Amino acid sequence: MKDNVAYIIEQMSKITMHSPVKKALQKTVFLIERKGVDLGFKYMLHFYGPYCAELDHATAVLNSSGVIAFTYDHYGHKMNVNEEYRNIESKNLKTEDKQIIQDVIMRYKNFTASELELLTTAIYVYDYIGAKTKEGIKVNVKKIKGDKYSDHEIETAIKEFAYFNISL
């Protein structure tokens, strides 16, 4: 599991050309799993949308073992794979899993952490709260997020559902 996390952090860094923050990692891993790669993480709804304590713990373990390093700035907790662990290969990811990981990162590399929060929250509402219509998703996202996102922003996020083979 930890190797997979380090691999994803490194892929995010390579593809986006910057260090990922914890919030973006949480949301990206959620999307990777929703796209079909079973990384074994379980999510619950949290303040910033779907959150996995096990993933947060994995990054802490990677940091304490020297595989990754955290830096802190106004964007959040940025993560970098340390030099001696770069080009890490995950032993249990299939070639098609690695391709999905890269595809998801490429597709969402220009999304802000807030846009990822909205998208993952909308998918979470669909998957776990049972809202299966656009209107139901909008209503439930607004219950969770209040006025943080406009109807237009939510509708834009819902348009991404097709990528995850979700039809409304």
pLDDT tens per residue across span 141-161: 999 999 999 999 999 999 999
Locus of tokens 């794979």: 81
Integer angstrom CA distances of residue 158 from 43, 58, 104, 119: 20, 30, 16, 7
Average pLDDT taken over every residue of the chain: 94
Query: What local confidence, expressed as pLDDT, does residue 2 receive?
Result: 65
Judge contact between 30 and 80, C-beta under 8 A: no
Query: What local confidence, expressed as pLDDT, does residue 1 receive?
Result: 63
Give Cα 58 distance to the centre of its chain: 14
Give the count of beta carbons closer than 10 Å to the beta carbon of residue 37. 20
Q: Whole-angstrom Cα distance, residue 70 to residue 59?
A: 9
If pLDDT is split at 50, 70 and 90, which confidence band does 136 have?
very high
CA geometry: angle 40, 42, 45, nearest 5 deg: 155
Judge contact between 16 and 8, C-beta under 8 A: no
Query: What local confidence, expressed as pLDDT, does residue 3 receive?
Result: 81
The three-state secondary structure class of 79 is strand
